Every structure is written in C-alpha cells, then in structure tokens.
A and B are shown apart, each in its own frame.
Chain A
Amino acid sequence: MTTAELSSISSQVRRDILRMTNGAKSGHPGGSLGCADLLTCLYFKVMKHNPDFSMEGRNEDVFFLSNGHISPVWYSVLARSGYFPVSELATFRKIDSRLQGHPATMEHLPGVRVASGSLGQGLSVAVGYALGKKIHKDDRAVFCLCGDGEMNEGQIWEAALFAAHQKADNLIAFTDRNFLQIDGSTEDVMALGNLGEKWKAFGWEVLETDGNDMAQLEETISKALSFKGKGKPVMVIMKTIMGKGVDFMENNHHWHGNAPSDEQLAKALTQLDETLGDY
C-alpha cells in the first residue's frame, strides 16, 4: 500500500472519529485524530493480522491500546480493516453496544484483547503478552500505544524496568507525544522533560518520529522492527498534534474529551475527504 493510499484511509478514519463522537455526544476526538495516521499505518501496512479475530493472536502481530480513551480511532481502524461491520461504529458509547466508551472484552468486540481506560496498565499487559509470544517461539511483533499524559502513572515505569530486564525485544511501544492532557500542557501538569532520554535510561531503544507524517511513520516503524530480537524493547516517541486534521481542534486540549456539536462536525468534515464512504 502506498503512502498516499494510507493517508487517504486515515482521512476516512478521522471522519469516523468525528462522526462517532458527535453521535455519542461524548468521547475523546483530540487524541484519536492525532493517532489516526499511526493506527492506519499499523493495521493497513505494517501488521500481519487476521480480522477473523482470535484472542491468542498466535503468529500475528498484535496491537494493544493502553490509552483506552482514544477508542474511536481504534474502533474505526478495526472496522475499516474488517473486524466488524463499519455500520456498527454508529453504536459507539450507546446502550447495548459492543463499542464501549473505553475498549472492553466483555461484549466480545473483535480486535480488543484487554480492557483499557484506567491508565498505565496496557503497556504491562503488552509486555506480558510479548513474553508469552517468546515462550511460544512466535516471532511476530507486539505493538502498544500509550499517551504522554499516561507517563504520569507509576506503573508505566514499572513496565519500563521489567520489559528491559526481561529483554522483551519483540515489543514496539509508542508514546503519543502531543504535549497535552486534561488539565493542560504535560509540562505544566507534571513535567515529563526529555522523555526519550528517560526511556533510554530505562534500557529501551528509542526512536523519534513525526506521528502525523505517514512516510516518516512508515520509515520509523520499519526501523523499529529492525531492532526486533536484538535484546531491547523499542519506544517510539511520536510527536503528534492533538486534533490533527481539523483546524479549530488542533493543539487545543479542550478537544481531549469533548465531542463536536452538529455545527462543528459539519465544519470539520469539510476539511477531510470522504475516501471510503461514511458509515
């Protein structure tokens, strides 16, 4: 798949995110828009995966979303990859839906392997899963996305120590470095400083990339995969723009957890091409 084709898919994913959050009158569009390029790149280009979902994911590349609140982007990409009908996106956050506000397994939504939402846990789960793959001598990769605000959680740093100690070198994690969390700038709330140096100090291979530049993402992930089997987990610090793709949402932490109104949705959709057909 070409870079242009991937970008065209991520445009549709962004439309889905906006329409889902608008339909639910709640949810988290900002981080979802920022990570639309990464998830599109992973599911449509990088990962060997099977939409005929199996929990164990044996001999597949597997993705975990640790910052579960950006569920809209994941649900859109899963549906667009064939895990469940695209029309089901309309049920997001509604009663009796499989598309819970935060990802969950209780309703058996294909593609989701563990609940996430309470922050800091998904990375540990991904590490455990990656170690399981090693016991099985399954050499596919494990991907995990965390938010930068999530780095406030102590458990992230427990996982950082543990993964390096266990040489979880089939794990590629991403930090969505958009510098924003609910109460404002990550540096004002609880400064993260030089995140790359921190992960290096914890024994991880660290790469940096622009998470909203598809070509750069492809290149960085390919480089990350080249570290597989070399003794260290990989952390990709991925600079993104919260609200990417919608001018009035970009870099505004209001859009972390607020849905667009009908009027705002209409305005936003004019900025994003409908490439695969709205659900």
Chain B
Amino acid sequence: MAYQVTGKNDTRSGFGVGLLELGRKNPQVVGLCADLIPSLKMEAFQNEFPERFFEAGIAEANMMSVAAGLATAGFIPFTGTFANFSTGRVYDQIRQSIAYSQKNVKICASHAGITLGEDGATHQILEDIGLMRMLPGMTVVVPCDYNQTRLATLAIAGIQGPVYLRFGRPKVEIFTPAEDPDFQIGKAQILAEGTDVTVFACGHLVWEALKASEILKEKGISAEIINLHTIKPLDEAAILRSVSKTGCLVTAEEHNVLGGMGDAVANVLSRNLPSPQEYVGTKDTFGESGTPEQLMVKYGLTANDIVSAAEKAMSRKK
C-alpha cells in the first residue's frame, strides 16, 4: 500500500500550521479572519505577524473585498472563515472583486460539508465546490488529510490568481506523508492501482475510498483509488487514463451530487469517454444536526456506500 496511517488530526490544523510557515517564508502573505480565529487555527499566524493580520469581525463581505484591495497592493491575502461564509455568503464579492478582477486571494474555508456536525444545516455548506468551480479563473483545492492540507496551503501561495481551499473540522486519519513530492496542485494522485473500477474522491472521502478499496478487494474487485484534490483545473488526462483502463467509475465527495467534483469528472468523460458513473455525495438535500459519524452514515458518505456504488457502476459496464 502506498499509504500508511500515522495519526489523526483535523485538516484545519494543517491549514494553521501551513499558514504560519508561509508567514515566516513570505512577507507578502497576510491573513484575514472573520471572528473565527481559533476555529480556523489562525492564532499562531496572528501572534507572530500581528502587523500582517486583520481581524475583520463578523463582516465577511467586507473581508473579501478588503482582501482584494490588499492583493492589489501586492500582498497575498489568505482569508479564513467557515466554508459557508467563505462562499455562499460572499459570492458576489468573490465574483466581482476577486475572480473577475483576477486578484491573488486565497479563500481558505474550514468546517466544509456535513462533518461540521452538530451546528446543523445552516453551517454545513454542500454547494461550495460547485459555486467556486463555476467562477472563471478560480482554482479549487480539496485536500484529504492534515498533512495534505498543510502542503496545499503552502502550494497555493505559489499560484498566481484566486484559489478556493476547502477543509474541515473533524479529526480524521492522516495517511499522506508530511512531505509529498507526489502532491502537486492540478495533478491527481493514484493512491491504489486497480483494474475493475476507478474511485475518484476528494477531501474526507478519500479515506473512505481507501477503506472501500480494502472491502472491494475482499470481494475480488480491484479498485483504482484516485485522490482528485484539485477540482479545478482538473487533471483530465489522469481521469481519462484511469477510466479507459477500468471502464467505470465512482465519484465520492462531501458535497451535493449536483455541481461538485462528480459533475466535473462527468463533464470530462461525457465529452471524451462516456462511462458508467455512480455518485457518492449528498443527494440534493440540506444536512442536519448530528455527530459527523452519524451524518456520514445517514447521508450515504461512508466506505460502504462507495462499495455499493462501485458494484453498481461495474454492473452497468457493457
């Protein structure tokens, strides 16, 4: 196996550590947060670089446009708030002041998806990947664990232009290496090779996909597991290479099945290599309160759901 579990931590902590490292390396990096500094793990950056950190208060619209202004002055602003307030609440600010204006702003979003848990549907955005990937010029990155979130935070500082970085709240398995030469923005990662079905996953669902591959193996099914951490720009070549080998696929994401990573993959395949595809994701619904584990089960986002989807996709192969 190309992966090994080395512990458990939340992806947002990977962001906090990465941001601090960036602050030390790059004086152009500035931080902004909308009254969620501990939740975003931005305290360390704030403490070490108070002159490069702005508490924006509970005023996300202003924060996004202020970030655009800081970028205009030559800085690389990293904004931090929950995914809901990073996207849906401020869509027009991102659209006009950041994306259309081609500003070098990094929109860093924690507590994404249903695993935010007990706070419920008001805070569990399941539409943000779709919203962000529709914006021309936006890079969309959804890393899978603590280590990868740290690496992604470091990497996006080097991308000229707006980036949406999505991560989460619960502590989850760490299975990618601390330093990973195989991790590059825009390049899909093959975590397990297989021949019967490809599972494309992002974020918290990558670990579920790896667990699913073990269950499938016991059933005699060889699944290729691909971490599609960059949803835009999409690694089309990797998608086509894998599906031309396996002939069917599952997409797995902590997001609405409408508009997310699964649809991004379907778009590539429908134009180039139409193939049986099953979606693992929330089924055009809002979430609700509960523990992350309960919600993952109730909304069909577990390894078992990926196994069922893989079997169904395989059954549809001609």
Residues of A near any B CB (own CB < 8 A): 55-58, 104-106, 113-118, 120-133, 135-136, 154-155, 158-159, 161-162, 165-166
Other A-B contacts than A104-B100, A124-B97, A135-B51, 19 sampled, CB-CB below 8 A, are A58-B74, A105-B102, A106-B100, A106-B102, A114-B69, A114-B103, A115-B97, A123-B65, A127-B62, A127-B69, A128-B66, A128-B73, A129-B70, A129-B72, A131-B54, A135-B75, A154-B61, A155-B59, A158-B57
CB <8 Å contact, A121 and B70: no
CB <8 Å contact, B73 and A133: yes
CB <8 Å contact, B65 and A125: yes
Interface of B is mostly: helix
Contact with A along B108-139 (1 / 0, CB 8 A): 00000000000000000000000000000000
Which residue of chain B has the shortest Cβ distance to A166 in the bound complex?
Answer: B54
Partner of A125, one of B57, B59, B72, B74: B72
List 28 A-B residue pairs with CB atoms under 8 Å apart, sorted by A's residue number.
Answer: A113-B72, A114-B69, A114-B101, A115-B96, A115-B101, A116-B96, A118-B96, A120-B61, A121-B93, A121-B96, A124-B65, A124-B69, A128-B65, A128-B69, A128-B73, A128-B77, A129-B72, A129-B73, A130-B69, A132-B75, A133-B73, A136-B73, A136-B74, A155-B65, A155-B93, A159-B66, A162-B57, A165-B57
- Complex Cα–Cα for A127 and B64 (A): 11
- A188 CB, min distance to chain B CBs, angstroms: 26
- Complex Cα–Cα for A127 and B61 (A): 13
**Interface of chain B residues 22 through 55 with chain A (CB within 8 A):** 30, 51-52, 54
- Complex Cα–Cα for A117 and B73 (A): 21
Chain B residues with CB under 8 A of A114: 68-69, 72, 97, 101, 103
- Complex Cα–Cα for A161 and B68 (A): 18
CB <8 Å contact, A126 and B101: no
- B98 CB, min distance to chain A CBs, angstroms: 9
Partner of A155, one of B52, B54, B61, B100: B61
Which residue of chain A has the shortest Cβ distance to B136 in the bound complex?
Answer: A106
- Complex Cα–Cα for A159 and B103 (A): 19
Which residue of chain A has the shortest Cβ distance to B61 in the bound complex?
Answer: A155
In this complex, the member of A116, A135, A136 whose beta carbon has the largest number of chain B beta carbons within 10 angstroms is A135
CB <8 Å contact, A162 and B56: yes
Q: Is B284 an interface residue (CB 8 A)?
A: no
Q: Is B293 an interface residue (CB 8 A)?
A: no
- Complex Cα–Cα for A6 and B59 (A): 40
A128-B70 contact, Cβ under 8 Å, with A121-B96, A135-B75: yes
- Complex Cα–Cα for A117 and B59 (A): 20
Partner of B69, one of A106, A131, A136: A131
Chain A residues with CB under 8 A of B75: 132, 135
Chain A residues with CB under 8 A of B182: none
Which residue of chain A has the shortest Cβ distance to B74 in the bound complex?
Answer: A56
